[in-house]
């Protein structure tokens, strides 16, 4: 295989499962990028149904006895929530908005897990009203407030002190985290929950996000078994449910490696069972809360190329019609991405380009990506943008947020319409 063919294949692997390049044209779900851009405009986030379902099934088959719930924050979207519900998944929701979306998608109450480090009484009442299967208590005063709101079944979120190898903003298991309770307080919260006649069903941990190996997750479940044994000694109580959060990362660039779902979940389940047996604990129902690993690879963003500029410092800029308003991750976390010229994917690379957007600062969407010489009107496809992009999109510079489509078998279905300037202007109050 030539160097170029190897590179092309390495980039293509980052795209959804159904991605192909034929005659230089990138297609997803049997639809060419060009036809999608023409029909729906750009920027456009394209989700591949096959990849979404495959990821959901990978979770179900790696842990057949577990309840798998989609961490809706990765991309809260009614169509995707419905698709995952069809696959037997539930939803992890952490705001009234995410709860509303999950209910609109028909996610059954018993498969809803309600999170939040600062739940309002209104949120607790809404969780009770939706007959959510589990509410995860995250603060000492939530025990009594949840009971008063009519919540019945709860987990207590505990911090293990384990520091995941990931970006500071998405590391959540360490002591001092704003999430969860330190072990002593968690034990006290379980005791109080039982006094308050809540069903204290179990424990919750979430070590962090975008984990590219299994180490922190393995250590966390071992720690959790020891903590469950401590609960038994202190309270005569053991968890019937163990929710180990989400966290599995996805590859955004060629040189990144991430475990596959079956590898990550397989190791986690094996460790958990082993550790549970070592402590002689009764088996607990496992809950998994994947967000990014369900939707990250399934989504790609299409942008239209505008200005191509070689500046004084000999830096070649490619400006596209979106950027930090539809994907703030490079700015927020230093996230790296790569890209293909979707309409000229087979051509020889002409050099390294930096991709920027239209916003009023030196935003860099991608620093140095090898591309054929881009021309105005070309389409740039950025892989692995399905998670935490549209979810965190803004209207910076009054940019309407992009549309999202779901593609399969040559058909594309709009799953979120593009915002219009009229939508944005309608919220303005003048006089
Ligand atoms: N469960 C809980 C309690 C969480 O806080 C999260 C993510 C998940 C599950 C899903 O985690 P995942 O499988 O997606 O790693 N905006 C950041 C990511 C924030 C993650 C927040 N919590 C980013 O763009 O990287």
Residue 7 belongs to a domain with what CATH number?
Answer: 2.40.37.10
Mean pLDDT for 198-211 is 96
Residues 234 and 372 in one domain: no
Per-residue pLDDT tens over the stretch 56-106? 999 999 999 999 999 999 999 999 999 999 999 999 999 999 999 999 999
Q: What is the total count of domains within the chain?
A: 2
Query: Among the atoms of ligand 1, which is closest to the Cα of residue 115?
Result: 3
Q: Answer yes or no: is 249 within a domain.
A: yes
Residues 350 and 242 in one domain: no
Catalytic residues: 360
Q: Is 290 in the pocket of ligand 1 (CB under 6 A)?
A: yes
Instruction: Say how many Å lie between the CA of residue 313 and the centre of ligand 1.
Output: 38
Q: Atom 1 in ligand 1: which residue has the minimum CA distance? A: 245
Range of the domain at 356: 3-41+298-426
Residues 312 and 417 in one domain: yes
Q: Which of 238, 267, 293 is the last residue of a domain?
A: 293
Residues 89 and 12 in one domain: no
Residues 61 and 151 in one domain: yes
pLDDT at residue 160 in the model: 92
Query: Among the atoms of ligand 1, which is closest to the Cα of residue 294?
Result: 13
Residues 192 and 252 in one domain: yes
Provide the edge-to-edge strand list for the sheet that holds 20-22: 20-22, 25-28, 31-32
Task: Tell me the two tokens of residue 170.
Answer: 């998405």
Q: Answer yes or no: is 431 within a domain.
A: no
Q: What residue has token string 């577990």?
A: 66
In percent, the amount of the chain with pLDDT more than 90 equals 92
User: Phi and psi of 225, rounded to 5°?
Assistant: -65, -40
Residues 68 and 185 in one domain: yes
Cα 388-394-399 angle, rounded to 5 deg: 130
Q: Answer yes or no: is 140 within a domain.
A: yes
Instruction: Say how many Å lie between the CA of residue 239 and the centre of ligand 1.
Output: 23
In percent, the amount of the chain with pLDDT more than 70 equals 99
Residues 19 and 94 in one domain: no
pLDDT at residue 174 in the model: 83
pLDDT at residue 6 in the model: 80
Per-residue pLDDT tens over the stretch 232-248? 999 999 999 999 999 99
Q: Answer yes or no: is 173 within a domain.
A: yes
Q: Answer yes or no: is 193 within a domain.
A: yes
Q: Confidence band (pLDDT; 50, 70, 90) for 313?
A: low
Mean pLDDT for 418-430 is 97
Going by their DSSP bridges, the two strands 31-32 and 44-48 should be labelled as: unpaired
CB 251 within 8 A of CB 384: yes
Residues 162 and 289 in one domain: yes
Per-residue pLDDT tens over the stretch 9-27? 899 999 999 999 999 999 9
Residues 65 and 37 in one domain: no
pLDDT at residue 314 in the model: 65
Q: Answer yes or no: is 254 within a domain.
A: yes
CB 369 within 8 A of CB 52: no
Q: Answer yes or no: is 398 within a domain.
A: yes
Query: What is the pTM assigned to this prediction?
Result: 0.97
Residues 73 and 23 in one domain: no
Q: Is 210 in the pocket of ligand 1 (CB under 6 A)?
A: yes
User: Phi and psi of 109, rounded to 5°?
Assistant: -50, -40
Per-residue pLDDT tens over the stretch 135-194? 999 999 999 999 999 999 999 999 999 988 888 877 777 888 899 999 999 999 999 999
Q: Confidence band (pLDDT; 50, 70, 90) for 7?
A: confident
Query: Which of 77-81, 265-269, 309-313, 404-408 is predicted with the least confidence, judged by mean pLDDT?
Result: 309-313
Q: Which of 273, 293, 313 is the last residue of a domain?
A: 293
CA dihedral 214, 215, 221, 225 (to 10 degrees): 150
**Tally of CB atoms within 10 A around 157:** 25
Q: Answer yes or no: is 137 within a domain.
A: yes
Pocket test for ligand 1, best of 68, 70, 71 (most atoms within 8 A of CB): 71
Residues 211 and 81 in one domain: yes
Q: Which of 268, 293, 318 is the last residue of a domain?
A: 293
């Amino acid at each position: 295989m030539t160097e170029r063919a190897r590179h092309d294949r390495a980039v293509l692997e980052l795209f959804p499962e159904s991605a192909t390049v034929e005659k230089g044209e990138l297609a997803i779900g049997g639809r060419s990028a060009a036809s999608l851009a023409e029909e729906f405009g750009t920027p456009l986030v394209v989700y591949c149904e096959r990849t979404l379902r495959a990821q959901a099934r990978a979770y179900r088959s790696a842990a057949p006895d577990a309840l798998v719930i989609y961490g809706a924050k990765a991309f809260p979207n009614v169509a995707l929530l419905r698709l995952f519900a069809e696959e037997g998944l539930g939803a992890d929701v952490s705001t009234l908005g995410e709860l509303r979306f999950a209910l609109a998608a028909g996610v059954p109450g018993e498969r809803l897990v309600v999170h939040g480090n600062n739940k309002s009484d209104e949120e607790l009442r809404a969780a009770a009203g939706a007959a959510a299967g589990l509410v995860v208590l995250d603060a000492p005063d939530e025990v009594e407030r949840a009971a008063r709101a009519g919540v019945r079944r709860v987990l207590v979120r505990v911090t293990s002190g384990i520091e995941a190898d990931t970006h500071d903003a998405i590391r959540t298991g360490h002591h001092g985290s704003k999430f969860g309770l330190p072990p002593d307080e968690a034990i006290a919260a379980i005791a109080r929950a039982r006094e308050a006649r809540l069903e204290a069903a179990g424990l919750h941990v979430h070590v962090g996000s975008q984990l590219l190996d299994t180490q922190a997750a393995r250590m966390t479940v071992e720690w959790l078994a020891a903590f469950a044994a401590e609960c038994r000694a202190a309270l005569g109580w053991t968890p019937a449910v163990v929710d180990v959060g989400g966290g599995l990362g996805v590859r955004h660039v060629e040189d990144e490696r991430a475990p596959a779902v079956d590898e990550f979940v397989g190791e986690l389940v094996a460790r958990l069972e082993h550790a549970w047996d070592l402590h002689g604990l009764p088996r607990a129902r496992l809950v998994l809360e994947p967000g990014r690993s369900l939707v990250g690879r399934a989504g790609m963003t299409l942008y239209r190329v505008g200005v191509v500029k070689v500046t004084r410092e000999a830096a070649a800029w490619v400006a596209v019609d979106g950027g930090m308003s539809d994907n703030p991750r490079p700015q927020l976390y230093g996230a790296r991405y790569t890209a293909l010229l979707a309409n000229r994917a087979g051509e020889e690379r002409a050099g390294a380009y930096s991709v920027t957007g239209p916003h009023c600062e030196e935003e860099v969407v991608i620093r140095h990506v090898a591309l054929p010489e881009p021309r105005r009107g070309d389409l740039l496809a950025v892989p692995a943008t399905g998670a935490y992009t549209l979810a965190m999109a803004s209207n910076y510079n009054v940019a309407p947020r992009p549309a999202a489509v779901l593609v399969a078998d040559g058909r594309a279905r709009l799953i979120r319409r593009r915002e219009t300037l009229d939508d944005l202007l309608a919220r303005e109050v003048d006089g």
